[in-house]
Amino acid sequence: MEWYWIVLIAVVGAFLFFFLIPTLIMSFVLYSVLLVRNKPEKWGRVCSMPEDPECKRMFDLGLEWDAQYKDCKKEVTVTSDGFRLVGEYYDFGARSAVIIISGRTESLLYSYYFAEPFRASGYNVLVIDNRAHGLSEGKVSSLGYKEYRDVIQWSRLLHDELENESVILHGICIGASVAVFAAVSKECPEYIKAISVEGMYVNFYESFVNHMRHDRPDTKTFPIMQEVMLHIRVFSGANVVTDGPLKRIPKLKKPILFLHSREDQYSLPDKAELLYDACTAPKRIVWFDKGLHSRIRINNTEKYDKAISDYLRDLPGLIAESEKIQQEG
């Protein structure tokens, strides 16, 4: 063997042994921490950040809401992709219902906090444990790329068995992405009439990069970040780099309400503008001056609830506009 082949093999071997393999191992560990439920208590029915005063306050207020309306509640289940999923349904005697979709790491207890403006506007409420969260089965989070099918199953339960004439979706963070994926899918039933989204990102990759830059500004992200995205693609089945809400939202035909904070450090305000501009469905956007990511309502409760109640009040006209656009298209 020629000497230069020996040198090349040695260089490649050193690169693999000292750089690529260690970073792949580290990135897989990070991926597992982020998106794999490797023990039952992970992402359980507890406050995800009890040390954070705002998060704890939201959680406690949600529990108070649940206690106030517990007589209207019953546990419900569906099966999706072979997983038994668990939710709680609050029957307020309405003809329409909302599905509240929380983000990663949160159980349905988190969603209690967002239920009041919908109840007050005359909607029944369904809160759900996303797959691999709370009491629902599953081990891997797919960041909405598979969970949207679960939401469609939940909507069928609301319509076919619980006799709701229409359903709307309200998503927070990743839950916002799930709502968009569900609303634009070919399987989306006609009775899902509209969505509202808080803090929606253009794709998970950018949100994750912003998260790392904000929380760990001194951490070097290359190549760990890119390798984590590779693991997500291989093991979660999600293309979070080139696919996401920004790619899918032009297909949306149903009305949408954007709720976004100018202080959002993960889903940046200028990207919310991109999402809004890319959407051709009947739409409105409400901006809030205060509130970090997923913390809008706790900082602007009255304005947040009014934004939702105004949207729901105007929804019949927005739905009619949407149906007219589809017919003309």
pLDDT at 155 over 90: yes
Is 280 inside a domain boundary? yes
First CA to last CA distance, the chain: 67
Is 237 inside a domain boundary? no
Query: What are the backbone dihedrals phi and psi of residue 191, each rounded to the nearest 5 degrees, phi first?
Result: -80, -5
Is 81 inside a domain boundary? yes
| Residue 213: both structure tokens together | 């830059």
Better pLDDT: 164 or 25: 164
Is 100 inside a domain boundary? yes
Q: Would you state the pLDDT for residue 12?
A: 52
Cα distance between residue 78 and residue 151, in whole Å? 10
Give the residues across from 261 on adjacent strands: 288
Is 231 inside a domain boundary? no
Is 226 inside a domain boundary? no
Is 19 inside a domain boundary? no
Q: What CATH number corresponds to the domain at position 101? A: 3.40.50.1820
Is 109 inside a domain boundary? yes
pLDDT at 326 over 90: no
Q: Domains in the chain: how many in total?
A: 1
Sheet of 192-198: strands edge to edge? Answer: 73-80, 83-90, 124-128, 96-101, 166-172, 192-198, 256-261, 283-288
pLDDT at 18 over 80: no
pLDDT-above-90 percentage for the chain: 83
For residue range 47-99, list pLDDT tens digits in order: 999 999 999 999 999 999 999 999 999 999 999 999 999 999 999 999 999 99
For residue range 121-142, list pLDDT tens digits in order: 999 999 999 999 999 999 999 9
Q: By residue range, what is the domain housing residue 294? A: 49-202+244-328
Q: Would you state the pLDDT for residue 16?
A: 45
